[in-house]
Amino acid sequence: MAIKYNEQDKLFTLLTQNTSYQIKIGPYNTLLHLYYGKKVDHNLDYLIQTMDRSHCGNPNEAEKDRTFSMDTQLQEYSTFGMGDFRISCLDVINKDGSCAADLRYKSYKIMDGKYQLEKLPSVYETERITMQTLIITCIDIVTNLEVELYYGVVEEYDVITRAAKISNLGKDKIELLKAFSTCLEFPNSHFDLIHFYGKHSLEREFDRTPVGHAKLSVESMRGLSSHQHNPFVILADRSATETNGECYGFSFLYSGNFQAQVEVDQIGQTRFAMGIHPAFFRYEVKPGEIFTTPEVAMSYSSEGLQKLSHNFHKLIRNNLCRGKYKDTRRPILINNWEATYFNFNTEKLVLIAKEAAELGIEMLVMDDGWFGKRDDDFSSLGDWVVNTNKLGTTIKELADRVNAVGCKLGMWFEPEMVNEDSDLYRKHPDWCLHIPNRPMTRCRYQIVLDLTREEVRAYIYNSIAAILNSANVEYIKWDFNRSIAEVWSGMKDENHQGQVFHDYILGLYEILERLNNDYPQVLIEGCSSGGGRFDAGMLYYEPQIWCSDNTDAFDRLKIQYGTSFGYPISAVGSHVSAVPNHQTGRTTPFHTRGVVAMAGTFGYELDVNKLLTNEKEEIREQVELYKRNYELINSGDYYRLTSPYENTDFTSWQTVSTDKTQSLLSVVYHQSHGNSNFYKVLLRGLDENALYQINGEDKKYSGAALMYAGFVLPNPWGDYQAYQYEIKLSK
């Protein structure tokens, strides 16, 4: 049993393989948090402490007892307005204008299986990975606002998911000003917040900052999860490292505005909370209606960050991603964006596909520029009909020709956008998000469609479906190239504009869900000017996301390092591109670009016809090596052996098969130096007692030798040299 309720002690215990989580129905039916951490199957309510503290109020029922205060107790779901002044999860406005919600325990339910959330992404159970659900219902007896707290327990991965359903059982409307998904409290304050910040072309940079009494917030208000901050964060013990120490990870399954807040309170306790960003969020819940928060997946590791990442990698890969390509090997693709930009036609594409197929590449992705009158980025978004002037063919003819030379065909769309210079905008100027009588902020000269409108969602779905029905298109790159500025929908009155941001995301998910259901054989890759919407919410609909527009192998070391903390390799879109690199002007060896791109979904983004013979030969070898190691790379355990922030000489990583018989080690040197040091790297995850051979050579190494004494690396000659080692159990 992963979930237990002890009636006598009024105690809920959630157990996973290595962790436990405990909740207590406390005095006055308050819902108190007792513990989350290393497995302890024991009543921990002795941890509750009370004290008469000045300026910390007491529940009304406490009468003259001044020792119990909601301002100092650890809680499961904090609310504003009843004497707790720390970060709240729930802020409401009641009909009388008052701003209070006082949640008390009402009932509970334990169920086999994992709850699902209507219209929102959610971790799901499979035959192999079973789950359990706990629902604790709390109620504010004055307004009859009911909150169901959902807990999903994934024993195998040490994961607990959380979400809340907020129901108005009263007679009057209630407005939500903040409706977070999770709250997690700690009796101490020795944490660092690890988060991943960035910008276009340099996403998910690693940052570790001590948590103190000033409130910290990681957030996006851009209408998408954003390049600037990622909705995956970690609270790590100050002493935690890759391989040691306690850490807690939180992944928000949501692609819009978010906030993760953390603070140390006046008595040294830490409160963490996460959910939809409350700024410009105002959601009316009418009598009888329910508001469902998105899900947060949490995990705890007592063995450092590496184990924490493994938990999230497995969860996302096996129990969040869906569709045919969750388990089937994904095609190695070549994308024409950096090869041609807008300057292409059918002949050019077929030539690329033909040469690519001969080298072992399996899919051609036709990027931006195939539709409307699109020859630059000033027009035609929204007009998803083929630009026959440019292509000279229909999509069907193109697909047939690309298929005939041995490649599948994929296509780029940016479905949520419109250009003012487009037939769609001319016909439906009101279909975009805009504020009447206020000039629109353009970004890349485009504006955002109002996905809260049903007819807009239908138009988007029908446009894409028409293409998919007309030709053998097996992949979609779903792009989103701006932040949302003027958030206002013509479909809502002045009292409901605070719902637009969230309803937009629900609209997006609805279209993606429909496409997933109707075209399960189509692989969808997410993109948002690279990795601007790289989040676990999107991964429910698209098993891979273009990690960054920056394809420079050296910059990618940091980008992919940061991304790896919360997301599996199978999610990371990564390509070999031409040099000098189009984003940085840097020239790195072809081999190095291949090694780096293989820490992802692997593909190419260049004109294969312009390559030298030896480079084409390298492609053949890379493709073979990647195919040979596909299972290992995508489903093995991923180890960050060195950090590009700490080791300035080289960055290295390793994947190890679950049975420890196979591993792939990758090393990329940053720069070469005269009279260089001797270099070695300590491997991980191998079987200490087993013997291994490397790159087919006769010499044998024990797992213990490779892990504790290390593997000797060559001295690089020239900058950015890379090495790859296929490690196999000796026969």
List the structure tokens of 550: 């920056």
CB of 413 to ligand GLA, least distance (A): 10
Nearer Cβ to ligand GLA (337/723):
337
Name which of 128, 136, 3 is nearest 76 in CA terms.
Answer: 136
What DSSP state is assigned to residue 709? Answer: I
CB of 346 to ligand GLA, least distance (A): 19
CA–CA dist 246, 300 (Å, integer)? 7
Return the residue of 337, 540, 669, 720 that touches ligand GLA, per CB under 6 A: 337
CA–CA dist 457, 452 (Å, integer)? 8
Number of alpha helices (DSSP H) and beta strands (DSSP E) in the chain: 14, 39
What DSSP state is assigned to residue 245? Answer: B
Nearer Cβ to ligand GLA (368/552):
368
> Rounded to an integer, what is the distance from CA 112 to the centroid of its chain?
27
CA–CA dist 306, 706 (Å, integer)? 18
Q: Minimal CB distance to ligand GLA: which residue? A: 368
CB of 630 to ligand GLA, least distance (A): 23
| Binding piece for ligand GLA, criterion CB under 6 A, among 117-125, 522-530, 583-591, 632-640 | 522-530
Nearer Cβ to ligand GLA (368/474):
368
Cβ-count burial of 389 within 10 angstroms (0-12 exposed, 13-18 middle, 19+ buried)? Answer: exposed
For residue 521, give every residue at least 6 positions away whose Cβ sits within 8 Å of its Cβ, in sequence order, or none. 324, 474
Near ligand GLA in 402-421, by CB under 6 A = 412
CA–CA dist 22, 34 (Å, integer)? 5
Query: H-helix or E-strand containing 613?
Result: helix 613-628
- Other C-beta atoms closer than 10 Å to the C-beta of 7 total 7
Catalytic site residue from 615, 687, 719, 726: 615
Near ligand GLA in 481-510, by CB under 6 A = 481
- To 5 degrees, how large is the angle CA 295–CA 306–CA 35? 55
Q: Does 527 bind ligand GLA (CB under 6 A)?
A: yes
- Other C-beta atoms closer than 10 Å to the C-beta of 628 total 12
Name which of 185, 135, 128 is nearest 155 in CA terms.
Answer: 128
Long-range contacts of 97-102 (CB under 8 A, 24+ apart): 99/177, 101/140, 101/143, 101/145, 102/140, 102/141, 102/142
CB of 227 to ligand GLA, least distance (A): 11
CB of 337 to ligand GLA, least distance (A): 5
Name which of 478, 409, 483, 383 is nearest 440 in CA terms.
Answer: 483
CB 84 within 8 A of CB 78: yes
Query: H-helix or E-strand containing 274?
Result: strand 270-276
Nearer Cβ to ligand GLA (412/565):
412
Query: What's the 3-state SS for 456-484?
Result: HHHHHHHHHHHHHHHCCEEEEEECCCCCC
**535 flagged as catalytic:** yes
Query: H-helix or E-strand containing 311?
Result: helix 304-319
CA–CA dist 228, 200 (Å, integer)? 8
Nearer Cβ to ligand GLA (370/509):
370
Catalytic site residue from 242, 535, 607, 637: 535
Q: Does 257 bind ligand GLA (CB under 6 A)?
A: no
CA–CA dist 559, 537 (Å, integer)? 20
CB of 695 to ligand GLA, least distance (A): 34
Nearer Cβ to ligand GLA (197/445):
445
CB of 610 to ligand GLA, least distance (A): 19
| Binding piece for ligand GLA, criterion CB under 6 A, among 72-80, 124-132, 424-432, 523-531 | 523-531
Q: Does 203 bind ligand GLA (CB under 6 A)?
A: no
CB of 131 to ligand GLA, least distance (A): 35
CA–CA dist 56, 411 (Å, integer)? 59
Near ligand GLA in 367-406, by CB under 6 A = 367-368, 377
| In the block, residue with structure tokens 């956008």 | 417
CA–CA dist 61, 65 (Å, integer)? 9
List the structure tokens of 123: 């971790």
| Binding piece for ligand GLA, criterion CB under 6 A, among 163-171, 392-400, 525-533, 717-725 | 525-533
Q: Does 549 bind ligand GLA (CB under 6 A)?
A: yes
Nearer Cβ to ligand GLA (295/367):
367
Return the residue of 72, 489, 529, 657 that touches ligand GLA, per CB under 6 A: 529
Q: Which residues pair with 726 in a beta bridge?
A: 664
Query: What's the 3-state SS for 24-37?
Result: EECHHHCEEEEEEE
User: How many residues lie near ligand GLA (CB under 6 A)?
Assistant: 12
Q: Does 479 bind ligand GLA (CB under 6 A)?
A: yes
Instruction: Give the CA diameter of the chain.
Output: 86
3-state secondary structure of 386: strand
* DSSP per-residue string spanning 611-671: S-HHHHHHHHHHHHHHHHTHHHHHHSEEEE-S-TTT-SSEEEEEEE-TTSSEEEEEEEES-
Nearer Cβ to ligand GLA (101/545):
545
CA–CA dist 449, 138 (Å, integer)? 38
Nearer Cβ to ligand GLA (185/368):
368
Q: What's the length of the chain? A: 731
Nearer Cβ to ligand GLA (61/376):
376
- Strands 216-220 and 258-264: what pairing? antiparallel
Return the residue of 530, 594, 636, 703 that touches ligand GLA, per CB under 6 A: 530
Name which of 151, 148, 129 is nearest 90 in CA terms.
Answer: 148
CB of 92 to ligand GLA, least distance (A): 39
| Binding piece for ligand GLA, criterion CB under 6 A, among 151-159, 466-474, 487-495, 524-532 | 524-532
| Binding piece for ligand GLA, criterion CB under 6 A, among 8-16, 465-473, 526-534, 585-593 | 526-534
Nearer Cβ to ligand GLA (114/330):
330
From residue 350 to residue 369, what is the string marking binding to ligand GLA with x (rule CB under 6 A)?
Answer: -----------------xx-
Nearer Cβ to ligand GLA (498/573):
573
Nearer Cβ to ligand GLA (545/619):
545
List of residues contacting ligand GLA (CB under 6 A): 337, 367-368, 377, 412, 479, 481, 527, 529-530, 546, 549
Residues with a catalytic annotation lie at 535, 615
